[in-house]
Structure formats: structure tokens, C-alpha cells
Chain A
Amino acid sequence: MISRPYAAAKRTLGIADKLMDVNWGLVLLITIIAAGGIAMLYSVAGGQFHPWALSQLSKFLVGLVILVVAASIDVRVWMSLAYPAYGVALLLLIAVDVAGHVGLGAQRWIMLGPIELQPSELMKISLVLALARFLHGKSVEDVSKPLNLAIGLVMIGIPALFVVIEPNLGTTLIILADGCSLLFLAGLSWYWITPALAAVATAVPLAWRFVLHDYQKARVMTFLNPESDALGAGWNITQAKIAIGSGGLSGKGFLNGTQSRLNFLPEKQTDFIFTNIGEEFGFVGSVALLILFAVVIFYGIQIATGARSQFSRLLAMGITLNFFFYIMINGLMVMGLIPVVGIPMPLLSYGGTAMLTVMFGFGLLMSVHVHRQVEIPRHSGGII
């Protein structure tokens, strides 16, 4: 087959064409959501830009640049970078376990000069890239072949293993969900899926017994009965529910949320930012936000199904699903439906790595959109 896939592209685009072709509606949507998040950070700081809102704004602007740059880079370039990115992310992940910085009782950061890097965040995107790359050439039948499936599962399993020993249960779950979703979308046979689901169902009690850390078990126990320790570990869940519930139909109004302003909610600016929306804008505001998120996801699915190459489709859908899993886990967590796991709300929670990786993800999604007409032969390895 052709060894120079770039030459086989139906057409190449100039940079101006690419910028014209960016789905600016989606960018606007993302900007609206992020602006809402910045407003919330302004609110939880007691009506001040310092210390979070302004910093978050600058991160968002950097993210926006990254998005546009990533969008204008040919999707085949991303394809070529898929495996190297995966390798680098894996190395960083191992490095964080070896020499990581202990924060919040878990090893999650690595210092790269002045930048505090969270390799597990990088890994999510890299895994989506690498799996899309790997599955790109595989037909429906190929995917279900034991060897291919084994390779795919190893690609998912290795980073999952390193993230779970950090320990970071939330991100592990997202990595597993992202990876398995891609295998599913690539056409994995139900003959594999059905027994796998059954196996997971039996593995949960075993994991409880042998894998989960004490603090993770404690979170689950507290979740099941938050009032048992209302001043201790149950505090977050109880106070989050109070914050959201007290918003009522239309909320207490901007800057009037008492739960977060009076510090009843720890982590109010990061994982629990959604509670402030619930408190200040009520049911109406929260549902409106969910609708905005849903529209973003709708765009994502639309972009994925509109792309002409399997790599692009899988990449777009993987990014979209990754975004969705963040929302789902964080949403269920702050509303007290699942135990507390450290997953931020994308675009809203304060934090650099999360914001930049989410924006980079959207950049890749946008690249798929811009290059939706690009066809990539099944056995192509990208451009470079």
C-alpha cells in the first residue's frame, strides 16, 4: 500500500481555509461554559477575581490558542504523533510514581520546571490517540481477533495500572471507560462484550476486598451513609447536597451562595464548583448548564460520524466520551449519587492541567472537523 499517506489526501487546506472551517459555534459554546465557570470562581472567592477567576481566565485563553493551533494541524500529523505521545505519557506516568510529588495524600503531580504536570490527564488524550491509531486499520472482524483485542487491552491496562497505584481511582475509571468505549465503537463483537460485562460484575466484590485503598473504601462507606460521619468524611457529600438543594428552582442569585462563600464546602473551587451553580442559579441554571454540555456532546458525535477516516471518527468520539465521562462522574459525585472521587468538572473547575487538556482535546476534535474530508488509507501510519 501507499507509504506516503499525505500525498493520498483528497485535498490539502491552507491555514486560512482551516480557520474558516473551524466550528466556531462549538468554540462559542465552550467559551460560554468556561465564562460561566470563571464567573463561579469569582463568586466562590467572595466576589473577587483573586485568587481563582483571573488565573482561570488566563488558562482558558491559553487553552483557546491551543485549541485553534491543534485544530489547524492536520489530523494525519496527530495520527503520526499518536504512539510517541502515548509513550511519553506513559514514561511521565511512571516517573510520577517514582519521583512524584505527594499532594492531597496521592501522588499525581510531576514538576516539569515551573509547570506542575498531571501525567494522568495527558494519558487520557494520548490513550484515545493511540487506540484510534491502532484501531484505524482494523476491520470489524480484526478488532475481535484475540491478538488485536489483547494488544488493545494492554494499551488500556498499562496506563490504568500506573494511574491506579498513584492512587487515582477516578482517572483510572475514565481511562478504562475511554479505552473500552473505543474498542466498542471499533466494532468489538458482542461475543466478547457480554462475558466481559459479566466478569466485571463478579470482579467488583474482589476489587473491594483486594485492590481498593482504605481511603477509597472509607469514601464508599461514607457515601453509603454520609450522616454516620457528618463532621468528618461525610462532610463533603452532606454539604454539597445542601448547597445544590438549597438553590431551589431559581437559586439564591449570583454572589449570594452561602454554602461556598462561608466555606462549608471544601474544594469548592475545584471538584465541587457545580454545587455553587446549583446554589446560586438553582434548578433552572443547573439544567441549562447540563443542556449546554449535552449540545457540546451532540456536536462531538456529529463531528465523529461526519469524518471520513476511522482514525478521525474514533478520535472524535473518544474525545467526546472523555469529556462526557468527566461530566458524568463529577455530576454524580457532587449530587451524592456516587462516592467522592477526585474528578473535576470540565471547563468549570479551577485547575491548569485539566483546563489545558480539555481544550487540547477540543482542539483535536476540531482538527477532525476541519479535516473531516481527509481520507486515510487503512494501513497508513500518518504523515510523519
Chain B
Amino acid sequence: MPLFDKKDKSRYTTFTRRSLGMGGAMTLVFGVLAGRLYQLQIRDGDQYMTEAEDNRINERLLAPPRGRIFDRFGVEMANNRRNYRVLLVAEQATDGVEEALDTIGKVIALTDAQKKRVLATLAQNKKFVPVPVAENLSWEEFSRINMHLPYLPGVQPDVGETRDYPFNDELVHILGYVAAVSPEDKKNDHDPLLDIPGYRIGKRGIERQYDSVLRGTGGASRVEVNAYGRVIRELGHEAGVPGQDIWLTIDREVQQFVAQRLGNESAACIVTDVATGDIIAMASTPGYDPNLFNVGISPDQWRGLTEDDHKPLLNKVMDGVYPPGSTFKPVVALAAVEAGLATPEYRVSCNGSTTLGNHTFHCWKKGGHGTLDLEGGLKNSCDVFFYETARRLGIDKIQEVALKIGMGAPTGIELPGEKSGFIPSRAWKQKRYGVAWQQGDTMSCGIGQGYVTTTPLQMALEVSRIASGRNISPRLVHMVGGEPTRREAAAPLDLLPESLARVREGMNQVANVPGGTAYAFRIQEPGFEMAGKTGTAQVRAYSAEEHLHGVTKNAALDWKLRDHGLFIAFAPVAQPKYACACIVEHGSDGHPQVLMARDILLFTQKRDPLGMPAAYPIKAASLPGSPVR
């Protein structure tokens, strides 16, 4: 029986030939695999080694504690408190992040908006980066999360730090607030701290201006992590530098009084030390709670703030620009004495109006004030007196003194976004409107209307400089990180002592001589008397009808159409120490701004913060950075 017949023979040779051929092909494939290994391990090995290390080693930033902000006596106005929060690591959430959020929502309250925000943040970060889900939890909520932890994969309870403003809205326009980092912030600031999910930076006020000082420098911990971001061990540690503390010139007690005294009016008020320009209190009302922005403001709350016609977000002290009205008259008076126009014998006669060409300029008092000297012009706030004086002086001299007194340019206060106000000049008008400066323009400026605008802060600077005769500028920050901000004693103003003395006397008469515009609101306690200057800023043009029959009373007008009430004052009259500028937007009749300033100046003098020793500098607490994962 032929087992290896011919056919089988040919099959065998075919099989063997083809098997060996396939063996060759298989060898080729092994060659390809080996070649690929060469490529990966020998040629590109270094690069992959680096990538493996990048995978393995995580530079975890340690956020340093933010510097605190104190008042001049060491009261903490911005500090850090424990922040119980819940973090979520996407990769560890085995059932998916949405499921995880739903489960968390069963343990603590989570709104849909919060969930949406968390999902968006998760999408922006790598899967192993913990993202805050809820912050500022109560101890009870935090314990509940910890208790349910076994059923919450990917959830990490964490104790971080968060900014706290214990006095809420009282200081918001000075301190500003911290809030979450926006993409725009990252464009200009490449500090790696900003990449920490949940990190907060200063957005307004001192928090923003001194952000780099308060922020400190991030520490770093080099840790080995697994693919889920879980730390296996620490490889190295680099301590950060805590943020430096800041001491302000503010006296929190006075600040509180001011804020309460302004109440719900749309108002601004500044109290200064006339000798140094240090700001003792500075409030703009209504304010808002800075903690809202730190915790996260709801759309409703935000709409409430932006749509309020009292403009709570606006710091009216330096961002509000107003015509100074009659509070500008002391500047014109100074210019008049400087120019040699207003000699002691200088008189202007007021019969209720004055004319220029065919235009009539009315005095606020129908029937006029009669013949007045400079002090009398100030005391009565006579419009005709200042129309006439300004006309004779010309705009150039008024402009020169206004600039010397601190108007028309930012005061340089240590806050972001200060407005400069405006003092017009001939050249400006020619350039701006292509029309020559008119005498009528000068006359309008003479009573603080027309093109002149100032901020309440500039008005405070004006009255402080008049009161002290020194070329002071405002200051808010007293010490940074225990080091006093050095400042040279202010030089005397480039004005004649005589002009300052006569203007001060005029302002004294305003408050302390019967018939003065603020006499009814004077401080009666001996030794505490104030000098001042009232003002009204029109927000609408008076009609010819009103000029004939008297201006419509404010009370009869819509709130938005009422005049702004302004007042600048210093006290005590004999030895000026404190100055105050106060504005009430669309204030009602009865001069609320004068009453406020009077009460505030009296309170300040009685408390006398300048007579008390300022706080001994406390060294910035050198706490270790809290790890932020």
C-alpha cells in the first residue's frame, strides 16, 4: 500500500516550500517588531523617559496663605478662615462625574448651576486634577460628606483657606475682594498659582492693587502620583513664602460710623488727616458684600447689583465724577488772592444776577447779596461774586491754582481705576471744540459748573490742602509686611499763606457766622468747630421759567433729577486736624451731606484716632502653605 504516492510527494514538497516561505515572512515580522523596539527604546528612548517621568512626577503647588489687611490699630479687615470643601477627581469617579455630582447632591445641597460650573471646570482640567465642587461648607455638611465617603468614589474632602471679610460691605470699596481667576487674568499673569482650581485673586481695591504682595510665592511639592493623581510619595518639598500683611491708614471705628451715617443714601464720604493726607475713613454707599464674589455670586444677585440706580458697585469716592459746584469757590477765591485781585478792599456787588453780552447769570439768591468782600462771597456762596471774580481773573489763573490744589489729575491713591476729574483750559477747548475760550465759560467755572468736574476724593484733597497749607497727597497704605511705606513730610503748598488764611476764614464764616450757608448745621461744642463750604451740583438745566419764578424744589422732582449735594469741611477751625468731603447724590432738601459731615467730623474729633498710638507692626504669620491639590 503506497502511503507516499506521487501526489503526496508533491503535496509534501509544496507544503515544505510554502512553510519555509512563511517562516521567512514570520522572521520578517519579528524583524519589524525588533526594529520598532529599536525606534522606541533606543532612538526615542530619552524622550519617552522624560514623558514617563512627567507622568509620574507631579509638581503640586502649595498656595501660600494670603496676607491679611489691618486697620491702623490692627483690626483685621480681611483675613483667612478655614474653608471646608469637597473636591472631585474625575478619574476616580468610577460611575462618571455626573453620577458623582448627583450622589454628592444627595448629601449636601447642590444647585444645577453649581453642577454645570463643576462640569465645565472638570472639562478644562486633566482627569486627575481635583476640582472644587462645593466650598465653605458648614461643619455639619462636611461631616456628612466624610461619613458617606465610601459611597462617593472620586470625592475628596479638603480643608483649605478662604478669604473672609468680617465687616461685609462696610469696607468693600477700599478692600475690594478676591474672586476666581478668569482666562483674561491668566493672559497677563503667568504665576502658576493661578492654575490651581479654586484659586482666588484680588479683583478690586487693595486686594487687586497689592495682589502680588498679599499673594506671596507658591511653594511646591514634588510628588509621585499614579495615573489617578493619587499621591504615592513625596519626592521633594519647597516651602513657599506667605503673603505679606498690609496695614491701612483707615480707622475701622470711624469707617463704621461713616458707613452707618451715610446709610442707604447714594453717597460718598472721605475723612483725612490734613497734615499727612492719610485717609482715616472712606465710604461709598450703598456697598455690597465682598464675600459674595469669593463664594460665587448668583446671576440674580449680580443683576441686583448692576441694575440698582444707586450703583453699589461704583466706588463713588474716586470713580464718581461730579461738577464740584460751590465747593470749587474756595479755589477761585485762592486764585483771586494769589493774582492780587482780591485785596482786602476788593468788593463785588450782587443784585441777583449779572450779564455778559445778552446772557444773564443768576445768583442762587433772588434779589442778591449786596456788596461783598472775598470772605463774604464764600460765606454766602454768592454766585454773582464768583462769576465776576472769575471773569476778571480769567481761566488761566483759576486753572493754575486748581491744579496746585490737586484737581484735574488722579490723586495717586493706592487703588486701581481712579478717575481724574477735569479742569479745562483755553488750549483744551480750542483743540476739543475748535472754538476759542469764552468769558462765559470762565464764569461757569467760577461757580464749579461748566467744564469743571472732580471726584469726591479730589474734593477731600482740596480741603485738606487748604486746611494744612501743605502739598499732601492721599495715602491709604500705612505698612506692607511690617515695613512702613516711607514718605517725606509734605512741602508747603506753592501758594501765599495769606490766600490760604483768607479762604480758611471765609470757610469759617460759612459754618460759624450767622448767615453762613452752613451756619444752621455748625458744630456747637467748643473746640470742635468746623469750617466748610457747601455746594450743589446741578444734574439738569434750569428752565427760564424757573429762573423767573424760583427753582423747583428738589423734593418735588424725580430722585434722578434732583441736585447732588456736596460739602467740604475741616476741623477744628483753629488747629485743623481732620478734613471731610461728602457728597449725596440727588440728595433731598435739608442738606443731608452737611449734616453727615458735621456728625462725622464731630465723631472723629472726639475719638481722635491721630492722638492714639498706631498698632505695633505684627510680623506676617509664617504659616506653612496649605496643600492645594
List residues of chain A with CB under 8 Å of any chain B CB: 2, 8, 139-141, 181, 184-187, 231, 239, 241-249, 258-259, 261-265, 278-279, 282-283, 286-287, 290, 293-294, 297-298, 301, 304-305, 308, 310, 313-314, 317, 321, 324, 328, 331-332, 335, 337, 375, 377-378
Contacts and interface: CB of A to CB of B under 8 A. Distances in A.
Nearest to A305: B16
Interface string B32-61: 111011101110111111011101100000
A264 B38 CA distance: 22
Given A258-B52, A310-B8, A378-B8, A305 B41 contact: no
Contact of A282 (B19, B41, B53, B126): B41
A44 B283 CA distance: 65
Contacts of B224: 258, 262
Contact of A305 (B5, B19, B40): B19
A298 B22 CA distance: 11
Contacts of A335: 33, 36-37, 40
Q: Which of B10, B23, B225, B232 has the most CB of A within 10 A?
A: B23
A283 B37 contact: yes
B26 interface: yes
A262 B225 contact: yes
Contacts of B47: 245
Closest 8 CB pairs of A and B: A245-B48, A246-B52, A262-B226, A248-B45, A263-B227, A139-B7, A245-B40, A283-B41
B227 A231 contact: no
Interface in B18-32: 18-20, 22-23, 26-27, 29-30, 32
Contact of A301 (B19, B41, B228): B19
B11 A140 contact: yes
B15 interface: yes
A301 B23 CA distance: 7
A184 to B, nearest CB: 6
A337 B36 contact: yes
A265 B44 CA distance: 19
B73 to A, nearest CB: 53
Contacts of A184: 18, 22
The CB with the most chain A CB atoms within 10 A, among B45, B53, B228, is that of B45
A140 B40 contact: no
Contacts of B55: 239, 242, 258-259, 262, 264
A187 B15 contact: yes
B612 interface: no
Nearest to B56: A258
A235 to B, nearest CB: 9
Interface in B95-126: 126
A304 B12 CA distance: 11
A139 B10 contact: yes
Contact of A241 (B14, B48, B127): B48
A263 B431 CA distance: 71
Contacts of B127: 231
Contacts of A185: 14-15, 18-19, 22
Nearest to B46: A248
Contacts of B27: 294
A20 to B, nearest CB: 25
Nearest to B228: A263
A140 B45 contact: no
A291 to B, nearest CB: 8
A301 B20 contact: yes
B30 A305 contact: no
A33 to B, nearest CB: 14
Contacts of A231: 126-127
Given A140-B14, A332-B36, A337-B32, 12 more contacts: A185-B14, A242-B55, A245-B47, A259-B55, A262-B55, A290-B30, A290-B34, A308-B3, A313-B12, A313-B15, A314-B15, A328-B26
A243 B52 contact: yes
Interface residues of B, number: 49
B608 to A, nearest CB: 64
Interface in B187-229: 224-228
B56 to A, nearest CB: 5
A329 to B, nearest CB: 10
B40 A244 contact: yes
Given A245-B41, A378-B8, A186 B225 contact: no
Contacts of B45: 245-249, 283
12 contacts: A139-B10, A185-B14, A185-B15, A244-B41, A248-B49, A259-B52, A261-B226, A264-B55, A264-B227, A279-B52, A290-B37, A305-B16
A283 B42 contact: yes
Nearest to B33: A331
B8 A328 contact: no
A310 B3 CA distance: 11
A133 B37 CA distance: 39
Given A241-B40, A264-B227, A290-B30, A298 B52 contact: no
Interface string B319-356: 00000000000000000000000000000000000000
Contacts of B41: 244-245, 247-249, 278, 282-283, 286
Task: Name, among B23, B41, B42, the residue most crowded by chain A CB atoms within 10 Å (CB to CB).
Answer: B41
A294 B30 contact: yes
A241 B228 CA distance: 19
Contacts of A304: 15, 19
Contact of A286 (B8, B16, B32, B37): B37
B491 interface: no
Contacts of A181: 22
A241 B126 CA distance: 20
B1 interface: yes
Given A246-B45, A287-B34, A298 B15 contact: no
B97 to A, nearest CB: 13
Nearest to B51: A242
Nearest to A304: B19
Contacts of A261: 226
A328 B26 CA distance: 9
B119 to A, nearest CB: 16
Contacts of B20: 301, 305
B18 A278 contact: no
Contacts of B126: 231
A259 B225 CA distance: 11
A243 B36 CA distance: 14
B33 A140 contact: no
A338 to B, nearest CB: 11
B48 A324 contact: no
A374 to B, nearest CB: 10
Contacts of A241: 40, 48
Given A185-B19, A278-B37, A335-B36, A245 B44 contact: yes
Nearest to B14: A187
A301 B25 CA distance: 13
Contacts of A246: 45, 48-49, 51-53
Contacts of B32: 332, 337
A171 B198 CA distance: 48
Contact of B11 (A139, A245, A294): A139
Given A244-B48, A246-B49, A301-B23, A293 B227 contact: no
A279 B151 CA distance: 36
B3 A332 contact: no
Nearest to B127: A231
A332 B37 CA distance: 10
The winner among B11, B23, B32, B38 for most chain A CB atoms within 10 A is B11
A39 B51 CA distance: 25
Contacts of A259: 52, 55
Contacts of B38: 283
B52 A248 contact: no
A258 B51 CA distance: 11
B501 to A, nearest CB: 76
A312 to B, nearest CB: 11
Nearest to A297: B26
A377 B48 contact: no
B49 A245 contact: yes
Contact of B33 (A187, A245, A264, A332): A332
